[in-house]
A = this chain, B = another copy of it.
């Protein structure tokens, strides 16, 4: 939910990215209705997982993100978007550190139905 009591100011994605270093840790920078806008720094390979109840949007801010799907890979550079359909197993991977923006309903778990040690609650930066 948008907090209408907050002053109306722009959210600068690069400035928010400068606030943290931990990789694969989603940070929430904005909300629209019941969706979260999150950013993360990623490098290496994540875990194969599925979101059974929702699509998941990825937008690359810097670097190069490979979204591995069981049918093949999607490679995203800066300014490129891919929406993983709900129920489709995927595993993000990045050679160099890559900054990404994600959009999905609040409460969506980063590791989806896989769970495990890489599960992280989003850190609020909004």
Contact = CB atoms under 8 A, between A and B. Distances in A.
**Which of A8, A82, A88 has the most chain B CB atoms closer than 10 A to its own CB?**
A8
Contacts of A2: 55, 83, 85-86
20 contacts: A2-B83, A4-B88, A8-B67, A8-B82, A9-B74, A9-B82, A10-B80, A12-B79, A12-B80, A13-B81, A29-B81, A32-B54, A32-B55, A32-B56, A32-B83, A33-B55, A33-B86, A37-B81, A61-B79, A103-B103
Interface of A: 2, 4, 8-14, 29-33, 35, 37, 54-57, 61, 67, 69, 71-72, 74-77, 79-83, 85-86, 88, 103-105
